[in-house]
Each structure stands twice: as structure tokens, then as C-alpha cells.
Structure 1
Amino acid sequence: MSGQIKKIDSIKGMAVYDDFQWSSSMRGAGNNISEFKKLNILYGRNYSGKTTLSRIIRALETGTISDKYGSPKFQLSFDGGSTATQSSLSNHGQIVRVFNEDFVRDNLRFIVDDERTINSFAILGEDNTKLEEEIEKHEAELGSEEEKYGLLGELLGAEEKFNGAQKDHDDKSSELEGKLRDKANQAGTGIKHNKTFGDANYNVTRIKADISTVTKDTYSPLTDEQVVRFHDLLREEPKSEILESPTFNLQYSAISSKAKELIEKKIQASDPIQELLNDAALALWVRSGRDHHQEKRDKCAFCGEDLPEDLWEKLDKHFNKESEELRQALETLLGLIERERSRAPNLLKIKNSDFYSNFTVDLDLLSEQLSTLSESYSESLDSIEEQVEKRRDDIFTPLEFEVSETVEGALNAVRESYEELRSASNQLTASLSADQSEARAALRLHEVYTFTNDIKYEDECTAIESFNMAMGEAKKAKSIVKEKVDVKREKIAVLKAQLKDESKGADRVNDYLNNFFGHQYLSLKAIEEKLGDASSGYRFEVIRNDNKAFHLSEGECSLIAFCYFMAKLEDIETKGNQPIIWIDDPISSLDANHIFFVYSLINAEIVTPEKYEDGDEIKERDRFKQLFISTHNLDFLKYLKRLPGAFNKNKSQYFIITRTNQVSKITLMPRYLKDYVTEFNFLFHQIYKCAHAQIESDENHDCYYNFGNNARKFLEAFLYYKYPNAVERDNKLARFFGDDALASSLTDRINNEFSHLEGVFERSVLPVDVPEMKTTANFILRKIQEKDPDQYSALLQSIGVENS
């Protein structure tokens, strides 16, 4: 049944609950964590913390927690997944009803103060047959969530459909969200951890923004070449500034012009020697020989003959000043040509390492062009040189100058292109950081674009939107049905309000007092307030023998309070709503007969299903959603075991509340206490635990600490039935231990010193002597086994221990 309390997860700073944790305290078979069931029975001695638990549950009913607690903290879990804490007491959505001393103080103030009245409450009145029939009709139309019929059944179906649609939507959204989260920041593969993208703060929000960018029509994916270029750019380190290249200052135009002038220049000898004019090679030979003979030899070095006396004069007239000046000009020009040609290969030194990698292609192209043009430039100079040499060798014969195609402009263009690249590279140094940031952003978007294609992001979004539409339709359908349910409930509430009859509340209390407890002389009376009084409606008074009662005994107060609570479960706000009920120790100050009647009232009016008509059928339905009963009384605990379903493991659960020093905890009830319901078995178990504890620890400290008291009480009961005869100054311990005087003496000492502090106050400030405790516990067990092996075996079985 939905809405049940599963567990009290934690309690801190509330009376004896210092730091209670359900998960560590409530371990059952297989070390599994046990939970509350439909029927829950809690046993604990007085002052163990039962009422504190009831106050936590009552806070769920009233919406407030006592201000007497300093800083209370607690949390409860419901099986629907919701929780309740000290700061969220009203969000659980359940009807809760709690009987404890706070309920008595708030509702039955007369019991606390004779001058105060008792709060009245309304139950269904009489003589309203038509209204009841109309209410039944509307309640039938409203239906039941548990039985899944009527509007509530329809609403449950609509909620299940909505929850299913919501789950499909949430699962698909979570799946996509997980993919985005992994892509954004998963260690090793996420964009956040990729140094290429350089964004240590990248997260799901950022990747969603990037997806929004790359899924627009305006986004253009990067080409493979762009990806490579951006990666190369990111590997770049800032370069030094590249200095401007020297200007070429090419001399080709000047050389060509000068060559044309000299080659085509016309000159004449003063008295030319025709033979030399006719043979340029001979003229060159003669001129060269002149330098070897004039003013150096008298005879010809070639033939040995004497040189003619007028030879030098003739030659001077042939090789005159004008020809020599032309020859010298041609030689000078040849030197200029040689120097210019030697410059051609070194006009521009291109070093790719000075530039960023994205300039490599352009630089390689320029280098290739420069090499080709330099070679062409040298060839043009060679052509001029050849013509100049030819004129020099035939100085008196003018030639027509042949102009070669010049590459001077192309070479200068290469330099201009180089300068443009140099300027761009220097500019890139200044903007490298910004350009790399743009490159990272472009590569990141490209990565996200690729990712969206890989996971078929648009298909995922389409599927989510489809689930969202289905969820919206299911939510709309649920809202329509819920509105019908709310209208129906409001109609039922209006009709029930017309049935309110506060005077019947007192009658119901009296019915319980008379029918279950036989207290005809004690009753409640509903007194209608007169017009003009500050209050309106009714007030209740306790009546004894037709007079207002005063000075009620504790037992009478307990009976009236519990009957009042039971009757109030029939009030207009509670009846039919299947509340969560918590009853805290309802048999205080009651005798044995009254204890049984309290049990009978709970069984008849709460646990036994309610019969109702459904058409021609008589059906049953539970009166409560979940029931908790706490008690300190073993007789009452024994009766509670008779409740229907009390031993159904799927419907019931038993707990024990134990207190050690100033701290309490809740644990599962030991089997022997649940099965046998006797303190005698409990005390035997404590002695057995002390005898067999392996180590001294926090877990078994309480069995040592309480050993003296437990052993004394156990031996008093055991020895009374062992030796029931009354003998003056009878030493039953000595009779029990027989010849074992040490065991008798040690047991007597521990029983007296460790179960009482009177006269041995120093005992309270000394640590517990564990070895003595274990020794005495073993003495007791061994003697029981020796005296009565059958009883010893039965006692072991009662605490779940096999006798070896």
C-alpha cells in the first residue's frame, strides 16, 4: 500500500536519541536492512524512548515539533520515495493519527486541569439517510485507489501512464545528457581534458551552446585541409621579427643600354692596316703581341726576325686612342656584367624557418620562381656579355645589338611578394594568441559537429520531443481526471459537513467505556454552548454518577483518553481515509482486565476490516494504512501477538527499544521475546551473552555494564521457583552452587556491588571488571546445566542457541 512509513532513517538531538541511524541498527537475516510493515509492535521499558518516537510521528500530524528539543533532527522515508524531516513535516500527504501524552494534553485538557474542558469532535450524525445515500453514491463514483475502480482508479491509471511517459522522457533525456556530459568532461576523452581546445572550464552547458551553433544552417563544417592548417597553427610558437630584405638594385637596364651604345659605336683607325681590318683574329693576335714586344724585344718572338723600325708607329696609327678607349669601355662593361651575374643567385635568401608553417607553400613557390628568374637573368646577362666580347675582339666593326627579354620586373615582383609574406608573418606574431584562440574555437566546434553526427543528435532530440509530447498529453489527461476527483471529493466533503454531529462524539466514547470496559458510572457528556458564548458548538465534560467528575485516578484518565482517541478515529476528517496510526503505551496504570479490553478495542475497531456494501455485495476494506503500537507491558505485548496478521512476516514487524546509560536505539525484537514474551528468557540471554562475549567492545559493553542487575533478577526468579520453600535466612545461592563456595561468593559480590551503589559509591567511578563478569556468568550457566539439563537446554532453545 503506497504511502507507508518505511523507516526512521535517523534521529539526532532528541532526548535519548543522540545519533540513531536505522541502517546500522536495523539489520535482520542476511544482514539486510529491515523496514516497518503494515503492523508494527514496539517493546521498551519505561523511559527507553517510546514517547519520543511517537512525538516524531505526531509532528507529521500536527506539522510542528516540540520547542523543548534544542536542535532536533530526524528523517523518515516513505515507500513512495518521499521523505519527511524536522523542516518538512507537511509534505508527506498522509493522514496520521497519534495517541500519546501530547494528544491527551492537547485534546483532553480537563484531565490535566480540572478547570479546562475537553475538545469536542464531530462524527457522522443520525437521521441523514438521504445524505448518506448520496455520499455513498459519490464515494462509489470516486472509487478506490487500492482496488483500482472509479475515478480514483482512473486517476491511478492516468498517473501510471503519466509516470511511464515521464520515465521514458526522463530516461531518454538522461541518456542524451549522459552522452553530452561524457563528451564535455569525461576524463581522457572529454573536450574539457583535450589540450587542443584549451578549455578547462568546459561543461554540459557549454557543449549545449556549441551544439546550438553547429546545428544552425549558417554553420559551415571545416574541410580536412582547414583542420590540418588549424592544428599546425596551434603548434606554432611566437617567431622573431623578420627584417626587411635588401632592395635588388638590378643593373640590367643600365648594362643593356651601355652595351647597345658601345657595340653599335662606329670608330676609324688613323692609318688602318687593311689586313688587320679584314681579320679580327689576326688583329687581336697582333694587339696581344704588341704588349709582349714593344720596348721589350728587338726580334720577333715568333719567327726570330728583326722587327721593322716603323712597326710601332704603324701599329699606333692602327690602334689609335679612340679604339683603345672603346676597348677599355667594353672591358669595364664586361666587369660590370660579371659582377651583376654573380649577384643573381644571392638576390634574396628565403628561410622557411623564419616564417610560420602556414606560409611554407607560398615561400616554396617564391623560392622556385626566384631560382628560375635568377637563371633567366643570368642568361640575359650572358647574351649581352657575348655581344660585348665580340665587339671587343673586332673593335673597328660596329654590331647591331640584340636585346634579350628582361626578367628584371619579375624579379622585383618576387621580392614584393616576399615582403608581403614577411609583413604578414610579423603581423601573425602580434595576433598569434588571438588566431590560435579562433583556431581552438573552430576545431572545438568541428569536434562538436562531428560528435552530433556520430550520436545522431537530431534523431535523439526528435525522440525526446516525441516523449515530451506524450508526457504532456498524459499530464493533461491526468489533470482532467484529477480535477474530476477533486470536484467529487469536494462534493463529498460538503455532504459530510452536513452530517457533522459533535454530540455523537461523546456517545461513541461512552459506547467504548460501557461496552468494552463496563464503566457505566463514568462517561462523557456533550454540552451545547449557548448563543453569545465565546466558543460555539459543543464541549465535553467527564461525568461520574450524573455529576461533573473531578480528581480522576490515573487508570480512569487512561481509559477515557484512549476511548476518546478511538472514538476520534471515527470523526469526519479521519473515517474512511485509512490513516497511519501510532498508539504509544495505552495501558498505563491499568489492571490486567483493562489491559485485555484495550487490546480487544484495538482489535475490533482498528485491525478488523470494515464491512461495506458495494451494490449487492458485502466487501471488506482496511480501516488503517499502517499501525504502530508501543508498550512497556509484557502482558499487553502477549495480547498484541493475537492480532490478525501478527505473525505474518509480510505484514508485521517486531522491534525492541533499549537504553544504555543515556542513549537509546531501536533494533529488531529478539526471537525469544517475540515468541515467548517473558523477561525471564531475556535475562537468561543477557547472562549467556556475557559468558560468551569474545572481546570487550562497544557492542557488548551493555551486557557487562548491566550484568549485576540482570544476574540478580534472573537468580531471584530462578531460585524462587527452584527453592519455593520459605526458610529463615535461607541462602539460596549457597544451596544452588553447593560445594562451589568460590562461585557462590563471587556471584553474591557481583549481585550486590554491581546492581546497587548504596554503600559502595566508589564502584560507580571505577571501570567494570569484565573478567569477573564472564567468570560469574559461566558459573551460573554451568550450574544450571548441572542441576537441571532439560531446563538448560530449553532455555538455550528459547534464545535460538543449539545445545552442543
Structure 2
Amino acid sequence: MSGHIKKIDSIKSMAVYDDFQWSSSMRDAGNNIAEFKKLNIIYGRNYSGKTTLSRIFRALETGTISDKYSSPEFQLSFDGGSTATQRSLSNHGRIVRVFNEDFVRDNLRFIVDDEQTINSFAILGEDNTKLEEEIEKHEAELGSEEDKSGLLGELLGAEEKLKGVQKDHDDKSSELEGKLREKANKADTGIKHNKRFGDANYNVSKIKTDISTVTKGTYSPLTDEQVGKFHDLLREEPRSEIPESSTFNLQYSAIASKAKELIEKKIQASAPIQELLIDAALASWVRTGRGHHQEKRDKCAFCGSDLPEDLWEKLDKHFNQESEELRQALETLLGSIERERARVPNLLKIKNSDFYSNFTADLDSLAEQLSTLSESYSQSLDSIKEQVEKRRDDIFTPLEFKTSEFIEDALNAVRDSYEELRNESNRLTASLSADQSEARAALRLHEVYTFINDIKYGDECTVIETLNEAMGEAKEAKNTATEKVDEKREKIAELKAQLKDESKGADRVNDYLNNFFGHQSLSLKAIEENLGDASSGYRFEVTRNNKKAFHLSEGECSLIAFCYFMAKLEDIETKGNQPIIWIDDPISSLDANHIFFVYSLINAEIVTPEKYEDDGEIKARDRFKQLFISTHNLDFLKYLKRLPGALNKKKSQYFIINRTDQVSDITLMPRYLKDYVTEFNFLFHQIYKCAHAQIECDENHDCYYNFGNNARKFLEAFLYYKYPNAVENDDKLARFFGDDALASSLTDRINNEFSHLAGVFERSILPIDVPEMKTTASFILRKIEEKDPDQYSALLQSIGVENA
């Protein structure tokens, strides 16, 4: 059902709707969420919230919600996934027409204040064909009235030539205009409906502006590569700012410089021990052993011999302070090398996901370079490390420092390139919205450029311009007869103004009043604001016997208002557009005959398809997209079930509005009301619910508080038809309950005391005795079953309960 309203998702803080949720309230017997259908019938008692629902739909029509609601919230869902809320009332794109008290107040101010008037409206005139023929005749005669001017031959020839050229020009212009309109806003394929162009208000005027841009010599068409890049840009989402890398600071130069200094440094022992100078391994062994013996042992831990007394003095002179300082410096440098070596894998973390997609290729290239250079950098550090360790192990032998290939600059260059990409990506984030807007504009202009080339727009314009020049020449030929031509055109304009006649709106209201309701004396009169001025407009006035009517009854007001609404469905903004229609309780203050006539009018003028002729064939089409009718009247509800499609489950849906205290809820109409349309079944259902409700459950308090009224009304109807004979001092309750005097007495007490407060006002502030209610309800059900089991079984079936 294209364009249909599926459901009212939620209503909050609107009169009796505190927090209505469709998904929880609107479930069928299979626990499936129900939806609106083509025909929707809503029943609810007065003050239950029907008009509030109609105001939500009227807000879709007018674009505003009543300011009497402090903070209303609601949401409606349409098929296709779109929604409308109190904040988006003008973007749904549907034509909605609502009849409710607000419609009456806004359009028929006379009903509220007899000093006011009624808004007029125009419908298409019934004599259009005749008027159009007359207009065409006058246009063909433009030259025939010039016989006395002496310019007949020249004017007639110029007029015929102008007609031909103008027709060719108009046809060609219309053809081109149609192509532009289709390209601008045709459903699915038009630029307006293409999200990548980002202009939901695109129209013919804008495409003409774009054509003017792309036809200038300064415009350069996009290449396929540019188009691809723009599409990629439009798919981008804003990225977080990429922070600068703080771990890259390379130490290679400092390490290499320090290594060269230490490796090549020359030192001498104060009193060198020749053997240790010659054998570096032995020197290392002695140095290590010194730490295990000095001031710890008197004998050699290896051979057990006594250590010479001057041994430590000799070793101190060999391993002097200078050599130890150098050794310590070398160890420190080795630590620096290790730390730098450990930093290499984390020098620069390149994460493509942090960047926009157009940086991927450059980032991949940098990552590859970084991997290769990092490996070379690690090898260079390893080479320095080996040389440092070698000098440390042979501390008195200077070595020549050998440098590896210098790659620090190359690594820094990679980092600089990364920083350029990072800064560029961050700049793109700041300007993404503007860049995407430019991309959309560029793609839209490219689309327009391709389009005008496809339709050969330049050739079309040349032909139209040629025809335009010819048309100008033809117009110049009749300039000598300007006054008479102007008079003829004024006549034609006057006839065209009659095509849309506001007086026809009043006539249609009168047709409904007279033909459907038989009100010959009551009518609507269209009064011209400025007599003689066809362009001045009309106002409507209610008349009785051709005189302005005052003191209308409520029934007359209701009839006029509804007939006005029905006629307005044929105004020039509505007719033929299949609106969504909501009719809120249209039978207020009407008698039974008028209620049937309202049903008949809805059936004939809305529900019954409209017939029309197409190429000689009579066809039918729906007058509406969706119809919603609410009522509090069970007789009217009974008539509505006769509407075409009302019994078709695929086309119709029935709802009921239940009000408990100050809050209302909308649910699917129960079977007994939908199928039988009688309050009798409803009252029986309330008694049944009371008899089977759980006393401790708060959700059942309404059936207890309403039980007195419900039981009294039900028993009045039930016992009247069971005991229709009029007997003086007849106690029908006693006859019904028989020997069960307790049940009779208890029922009589509840019926009288709990359905009235007169004389015992204090009862209104005391809690309801729930067990008493439940017991009485059970008495009533049990006695009905005992007296008439067939009727009891039928009543249970009518409320959807299987008799055990």
C-alpha cells in the first residue's frame, strides 16, 4: 500500500494519551503487531480520545500541532520506512484531509459566531468543455472582428502565422521542458531523488541554472577518475584527528658519534701486565676473577695457591681508572643501543583505518619503505654494537670505527611524508562537509552535462530560438490592431476565470444537503466580495429560505459542516489526488435518519470508486488512499460495516479506544463488538471480566469501579426481555435469582449503591469492596447459565470465550 500510514508508533503527553505504545497495545490473537489498512473504523465513547487522534492527522494536513498541548510527542510510520513526528509535519509528502471540530472552527466560523462567514473554495466547473470550446472560438476569431479596421487581411494573415509558429514553439518548448522536469524530479531516476546529489528540493528552475553553468566555456567536464574519486569522497565519514607521532626521534647520529669516540679512544695502563695486553680473553678472565677474590680470599679459588701480597697493587696499575671509565662508558653506550634497537618496531605506527580511503595507496607505499628501512636501521645498530663490544673486551686496543650505510635521513624522510599525509587527512576532516558539498555539486553538474549532451540540448535551444524569433515577427505583424486584440484577450481571460468557479463549491454543498438530507430550505450561498469583479473571490453564507440563517440547531450545524467537508474533497487541491481521509464522529446531534444519510454520503462520495472515461472505455478508480472513521454511536458503527470492503480482512481494520480514569489506550476491536455491534455484549463482557479477575491485581481496578453501572445496565436490558410483562411492584431480580435471596439482595445493593452517590457521598472516598463485586458477578453468570444455558453459551462465544 504505497504511501499508506501503517501505525501510530507512540503518543505521549497529548490529552488522555499519556504514553501510548502501538507495539504493546496493538496485538492480534496470534500476538502479531496489527497495522492500519485501507479502511479503518474506530469506536470509542465520548471523551475517550477520538478527537485527539484526529488532531494528530490534522497536524499532517496543516503542518502545525495545537499549542494547547504543552509538550506533545507522537510518531507515525508509513509503508516504505518513513516516519512523521511533531517535529516533521511537512515532509511526509501525503495529502491528508481531516474532518473534526478544528476543521469546523477554521473553515466554518459562522457556526461558532454568526457574525463571521464561511471560507470559500473552488472546484472544477461542470461546464469546462463548453467554456474551453468558447475560448478556442474567440481565439480563432481574433482576426474576424477587424473587418471595420481596414487591417483584416494583414491581421488575419499575421494571426494564422502566429498560431502556427506559436504552436510549434510551445510544442518544442513543452517537449524540452518535459525532458528537464523528468530529469530534475522524476521518481527514482530524477536528480531530486538521487541521494548522492543531496538536493531534495531540486526542480526545473535549478536544472536550468546548472545548464547555464555547464554550457559556459569555463566549465571542464569531469574525467572518469575524478568521478570515481568524488564518489569515494561522498562515502567517507568524518575521522578523528590523527595525533603526531612522538616516538620517532632517532638516536642513530648520537650513538654513532659516541661509538666512534669510545672505540677509537687510546688509553694506557700505569704498569701494564704484558700477558694481559696480549691476551684479551685472559685479561677479561683476570678482571672477572679479581672481583671474586679481592678482599674475599687469601688463596686462589681455582688452584688453591696463596695469592701474592702485591697482586692487587699490580692489577690496580694495570686496570687503572681510565680503562674502567672507558669500560663503563662502553657499557652505557651498549644500553643506549639496545634501547634504540627495541624502539625500532614502534618508531612509526601507520594505521590505514585512521585515514581517508584516498590515502591508502600512499600509506601502503610508506609502510613498505618503513619496513625495509627499519630492518636496515636495526642492522646498522647491530654493527655498532659489535664494534663496541669488541673494544670493551679489549679495552686497551683502540679500533677503527666503521660506519654502515647512513639511513637516518631516509627514515626521517618517511616520517616527514607520513606527517604530510597526517596533516592533509586532518585538514580534510575539518573541510569534509564542504568538500563533500563541492563533490555533490560537481557530480550533479557532470550529470547535467552528460544529460544535455545526450538530448542534444544545444540543437533543441537553437530550434526553439528560431521559432521564438519567428513568433516575434508574427506578433509585430499584428501590432496595428493591439487594442482590439487586447479586448479579445480580456474576453478570453474572463472565460478562463470561469473554469475554476468558487460558486460551484456552494452548489455542491447544497446538492448534498438537498439530495441526501432533504433540506430544501437550508442552503449555502456564494456571495461575490466585489460585485462585478470576477477576480475578487467569494464568501459563503448559510441561508434559510433565501435569507441569512441564524440560531442554527446543533444538528443543522453538524449537517452543514459535514456537507461542506464532503464538497471540499472535490476542490482543486484535493480531487484526483487520492487523499488520506480522517472523519471524526460526524453524526453528533443527528437523529437516526440523518445518521443513515451520513453513512450513505460517505459510501457514495468517498468509498464507491469514481468512474471515468479513458479512450472510450469506462473505468473506475479509488477516490481515497486511506479512510479513517471514528464514532461513538453503535448505530453508525453498524452502518459502517456495510461499506464496500468493510468485511474484507485484507482491506479493513477495526479499533476501539478504552479510557480508564484519565488515560486512554487503543486496541483492536473485540470480536463481540466488531461482529455484533451491541452494548449488551460489551456489558456482559465487563461482568465476565469482574467475575474472573484477580483481586490483588491493580490492572483490574477499573472493572470493579465500573461494575455497579455495568451490572445495572446489563440486568435492566436482560431482565426486561426475559420478563416483559408489566406487573405491579414486580421485583425482577427476585424472580431471576429465585430462592437465592442473598444473591438478589447483594446484586440490588451493588446496583443501587455503587452506581449512585446521592445521599451517601462518603462512599466516593471509601475503597471498593472488591470481593463483594466478584461474588455478585459470579452469581449473575451462574444464574444466567442455570436459567438459559443456550443464551449463556452464545454470550460467551460473542466475547471470544469457549464454554467449558
Please tell me the TM-score bracket, short chain as reference. Answer: 0.5 to 0.7
Partner-residue secondary structure (3-state), 1:724: coil
Structure 1: 5+ residue stretches without partners: 143-149, 182-202, 214-229, 235-240, 257-334, 378-407, 418-427, 429-434, 449-464, 482-493
Q: Given that residues 680 and 714 in structure 1 are in contact (C-alpha distance below 8 angstroms), is that contact kept between their aligned partners in structure 2?
A: yes
Measured after TM superposition, the shift of residue 533 of structure 1 is: 10
Distance change in 2, residues 1:733/1:254 (3 Å): closer
Task: Check if 1:356 corresponds to 2:351.
Answer: no
Comparing 109-118 with 775-784, greater Cα deviation is found at 109-118
Task: Give the Cα separation in 2 of the matches to 1:252 and 1:64.
Answer: 103
Distance change in 2, residues 1:62/1:535 (3 Å): farther
Q: Given that residues 161 and 474 in structure 1 are in contact (C-alpha distance below 8 angstroms), is that contact kept between their aligned partners in structure 2?
A: no
Partner-residue secondary structure (3-state), 2:654: strand
Distance change in 2, residues 1:594/1:115 (3 Å): same
Report the counterpart of residue 387 of structure 2 in structure 1: 366
Distance change in 2, residues 1:156/1:593 (3 Å): same
Distance change in 2, residues 1:338/1:504 (3 Å): closer
Superposed CA deviations along residues 612-647 of structure 1, whole A, max 9, x for unmatched, are: 122132221111111110111101000000111112
Task: Give the Cα separation in 1 of the matches to 2:191 and 2:780.
Answer: 62
Task: Check if 1:250 corresponds to 2:281.
Answer: no
Report the counterpart of residue 553 of structure 1 in structure 2: 553
Counterpart of 2:590, as a letter, is L
Q: Given that residues 74 and 85 in structure 1 are in contact (C-alpha distance below 8 angstroms), is that contact kept between their aligned partners in structure 2?
A: yes
Report the counterpart of residue 519 of structure 1 in structure 2: 519
**Equivalent residues in 2 for 1:490-505, closer than 5 Å:** 499-505=499-505
Task: Check if 1:729 corresponds to 2:729.
Answer: yes
Question: What's the TM-score once normalised by structure 2's chain length?
Answer: 0.63
Partner-residue secondary structure (3-state), 2:730: coil
**Equivalent residues in 2 for 1:778-793, closer than 5 Å:** 778-793=778-793
Superposed CA deviations along residues 420-472 of structure 1, whole A, max 9, x for unmatched, are: xxxxxxxx9xxxxxx9xx89x99x99xx9xxxxxxxxxxxxxxxx99x97998
Distance change in 2, residues 1:691/1:253 (3 Å): closer
Q: Given that residues 272 and 317 in structure 2 are in contact (C-alpha distance below 8 angstroms), is that contact kept between their aligned partners in structure 1?
A: no
Task: Check if 1:769 corresponds to 2:769.
Answer: yes
Report the counterpart of residue 287 of structure 2 in structure 1: none
Question: What's the TM-score once normalised by structure 1's chain length?
Answer: 0.63
Q: Given that residues 529 and 535 in structure 1 are in contact (C-alpha distance below 8 angstroms), is that contact kept between their aligned partners in structure 2?
A: no
Distance change in 2, residues 1:618/1:82 (3 Å): same
Measured after TM superposition, the shift of residue 251 of structure 1 is: 7.1
Task: Give the Cα separation in 2 of the matches to 1:55 and 1:602.
Answer: 21
Partner-residue secondary structure (3-state), 1:31: coil
Residue 158 of structure 1, aligned match among 189, 210, 213: 189
Task: Give the Cα separation in 2 of the matches to 1:569 and 1:367.
Answer: 99
Task: Give the Cα separation in 2 of the matches to 1:532 and 1:570.
Answer: 26
Task: Give the Cα separation in 1 of the matches to 2:651 and 2:197.
Answer: 32
Task: Give the Cα separation in 2 of the matches to 1:717 and 1:152.
Answer: 68
Superposed CA deviations along residues 382-419 of structure 1, whole A, max 9, x for unmatched, are: xxxxxxxxxxxxxxxxxxxxxxxxxx6xx1756x99xx
**Equivalent residues in 2 for 1:292-307, closer than 5 Å:** none
Distance change in 2, residues 1:133/1:25 (3 Å): farther
Structure 2: 5+ residue stretches without partners: 136-169, 175-180, 199-227, 252-257, 275-312, 342-380, 426-438, 456-493
Counterpart of 1:738, as a letter, is G
Q: Given that residues 187 and 193 in structure 2 are in contact (C-alpha distance below 8 angstroms), is that contact kept between their aligned partners in structure 1?
A: no
Task: Give the Cα separation in 2 of the matches to 1:598 and 1:709.
Answer: 31
Measured after TM superposition, the shift of residue 354 of structure 1 is: 6.6
Counterpart of 2:387, as a letter, is L
Q: Given that residues 523 and 543 in structure 2 are in contact (C-alpha distance below 8 angstroms), is that contact kept between their aligned partners in structure 1?
A: yes
Task: Give the Cα separation in 1 of the matches to 2:133 and 2:603.
Answer: 28
**Equivalent residues in 2 for 1:608-687, closer than 5 Å:** 608-687=608-687
Task: Give the Cα separation in 2 of the matches to 1:163 and 1:743.
Answer: 74
Q: Given that residues 165 and 471 in structure 1 are in contact (C-alpha distance below 8 angstroms), is that contact kept between their aligned partners in structure 2?
A: no
Larger CA Rg, structure 1 vs 2 = 1
Q: Given that residues 273 and 318 in structure 2 are in contact (C-alpha distance below 8 angstroms), is that contact kept between their aligned partners in structure 1?
A: no
Distance change in 2, residues 1:579/1:741 (3 Å): same
Measured after TM superposition, the shift of residue 10 of structure 1 is: 2.0
Measured after TM superposition, the shift of residue 587 of structure 1 is: 0.7
Measured after TM superposition, the shift of residue 127 of structure 1 is: 3.1
Counterpart of 1:348, as a letter, is R
Measured after TM superposition, the shift of residue 547 of structure 1 is: 2.2
Distance change in 2, residues 1:112/1:533 (3 Å): farther
Q: Given that residues 743 and 779 in structure 1 are in contact (C-alpha distance below 8 angstroms), is that contact kept between their aligned partners in structure 2?
A: yes
Task: Give the Cα separation in 1 of the matches to 2:37 and 2:319.
Answer: 108
Distance change in 2, residues 1:9/1:338 (3 Å): closer
Partner-residue secondary structure (3-state), 1:116: coil
Distance change in 2, residues 1:161/1:121 (3 Å): closer
Task: Give the Cα separation in 2 of the matches to 1:673 and 1:475.
Answer: 63
Superposed CA deviations along residues 285-341 of structure 1, whole A, max 9, x for unmatched, are: xxxxxxxxxxxxxxxxxxxxxxxxxxxxxxxxxxxxxxxxxxxxxxxxxx9999669
Pairwise CA RMSD of aligned residues?
5.0
Q: How many residues align?
A: 578
**Equivalent residues in 2 for 1:470-619, closer than 5 Å:** 499-531=499-531, 536-619=536-619
Task: Give the Cα separation in 2 of the matches to 1:653 and 1:795.
Answer: 23
Report the counterpart of residue 2 of structure 2 in structure 1: 2
Task: Check if 1:120 corresponds to 2:120.
Answer: yes
Measured after TM superposition, the shift of residue 366 of structure 1 is: 2.4
Task: Give the Cα separation in 2 of the matches to 1:527 and 1:121.
Answer: 12
Task: Give the Cα separation in 1 of the matches to 2:316 and 2:585.
Answer: 125
Distance change in 2, residues 1:633/1:372 (3 Å): closer
**Equivalent residues in 2 for 1:70-109, closer than 5 Å:** 70-109=70-109
Deviating beyond 4 angstroms after TM superposition, the runs of 4 or more aligned structure 1 residues are 130-135, 150-154, 159-167, 230-234, 244-248, 251-256, 335-347, 371-374, 468-478, 494-498, 531-535
Report the counterpart of residue 67 of structure 2 in structure 1: 67
Q: Given that residues 162 and 471 in structure 1 are in contact (C-alpha distance below 8 angstroms), is that contact kept between their aligned partners in structure 2?
A: no
Measured after TM superposition, the shift of residue 67 of structure 1 is: 2.3
Q: Given that residues 527 and 539 in structure 2 are in contact (C-alpha distance below 8 angstroms), is that contact kept between their aligned partners in structure 1?
A: yes
**Equivalent residues in 2 for 1:149-188, closer than 5 Å:** 155-156=186-187, 158=189
Measured after TM superposition, the shift of residue 545 of structure 1 is: 2.0
Measured after TM superposition, the shift of residue 82 of structure 1 is: 2.6
Counterpart of 1:357, as a letter, is R
Distance change in 2, residues 1:533/1:358 (3 Å): same
Q: Given that residues 61 and 98 in structure 1 are in contact (C-alpha distance below 8 angstroms), is that contact kept between their aligned partners in structure 2?
A: yes
Q: Given that residues 4 and 79 in structure 2 are in contact (C-alpha distance below 8 angstroms), is that contact kept between their aligned partners in structure 1?
A: yes
Between the aligned residues of both structures, percent identity stands at 73
Counterpart of 2:612, as a letter, is Y
Task: Give the Cα separation in 2 of the matches to 1:153 and 1:102.
Answer: 38
Partner-residue secondary structure (3-state), 1:734: helix
Task: Give the Cα separation in 2 of the matches to 1:496 and 1:3.
Answer: 34
Distance change in 2, residues 1:502/1:337 (3 Å): closer
Task: Give the Cα separation in 2 of the matches to 1:608 and 1:474.
Answer: 45
Partner-residue secondary structure (3-state), 1:771: helix
Task: Give the Cα separation in 2 of the matches to 1:697 and 1:132.
Answer: 72
Task: Give the Cα separation in 2 of the matches to 1:653 and 1:756.
Answer: 37
Counterpart of 2:628, as a letter, is F
Task: Give the Cα separation in 1 of the matches to 2:96 and 2:786.
Answer: 54
Task: Give the Cα separation in 1 of the matches to 2:250 and 2:110.
Answer: 90
